[in-house]
Amino acid sequence: MILRYTLAWFILMIAAIINGAIREAVYKNRLGDLSAHQLSTLTGIVLLGVIIWGLHRLWPLASAKQAWAVGFVWLAMTIAFEFLFGHFIAGHPWSKLLHDYNIFAGRVWLLVLIWTTIAPYVFYKLK
């Protein structure tokens, strides 16, 4: 089951990329960078929640331990992708990548990471 959910992370990644592309193309210029980032975080959490709920219905998790394992695997994969792809492929400096982690500057990306980690457990408990 963990392998299935690990592979399903790529669906989450594609959804997050689409969410970011919509932010950049549709409302970033109207709202400004910070407000667009915050709105995109909210829409990303909702979008990922819908997908994770669907995955849980398709492949019910057997235990709380399994749900937490999936969440932490997804967290590690998300952070690794963000920094490795963001720096080495997209060419963003480390400072730009770390900027989204500054909650004191209104950057709420951490909420996506928290949700990605706890959502499998949340949906496991709700079944």
How is residue 105 annotated by DSSP?
G
**pLDDT at res. 1:** 82
Q: Looking at the 3D structure of the chain, how many domains does it have?
A: 1
Portion of the chain with pLDDT greater than 70, in percent? 100
How much is the pTM?
0.93
Structural domain including 120 reads 2-126
For residue 92, what are its two tokens?
């963003």
Q: Model confidence at 65, in pLDDT bands (50, 70, 90)?
A: very high
- The tokens for 108 are 């709420």
The half-sphere exposure of 24 on its side-chain side, counting CA atoms within 13 A, is 6
Helices (H), the chain: 2-22, 28-31, 33-58, 64-84, 94-99, 109-126
How high is the pLDDT of residue 127?
85
2 burial (CB, 10 Å; 0-12 / 13-18 / 19+) is: exposed
What does the pLDDT average to over 82-97?
Answer: 93
